[in-house]
Amino acid sequence: MTNDADNEHLRLLSIAHYVVGGLGLVCASFPLIHLTLGLVMISKPEFMRGPGGEGPPAALGWVIAVVGGVAVLLGWTLGLCTIVSGRFIHQRKHRTFSLVVAAIQCLFIPFGTTLGVFTLIVLVRQSVRGLYELKSG
DSSP category for residue 19: H
Question: d(Cα 81, Cα 87) in Å, to the nearest integer?
Answer: 10
Question: d(Cα 72, Cα 31) in Å, to the nearest integer?
Answer: 6
Assign 137 a pLDDT band (cuts: 50, 70, 90): low
Rounded to a whole number of angstroms, the distance between the first and last alpha carbons of the chain is: 22
Assign 57 a pLDDT band (cuts: 50, 70, 90): confident
Query: Within a 10 A sphere around the Cβ of 89, how many other Cβ atoms?
Result: 30
> pTM value?
0.89
Contact status, residue 58 vs residue 45, Cβ threshold 8 Å: yes
> What pLDDT does residue 49 have?
78
Query: Per-residue pLDDT for 136 more than 70?
Result: no
Q: Where are the domains of the chain?
A: 3-136
Q: Note the pLDDT tens digit of each residue in 10-43.
A: 999 999 999 999 999 999 999 999 999 999 999 9
Contact status, residue 17 vs residue 96, Cβ threshold 8 Å: no
Q: Note the pLDDT tens digit of each residue in 77-122.
A: 999 999 999 999 999 999 999 999 999 999 999 999 999 999 999 9
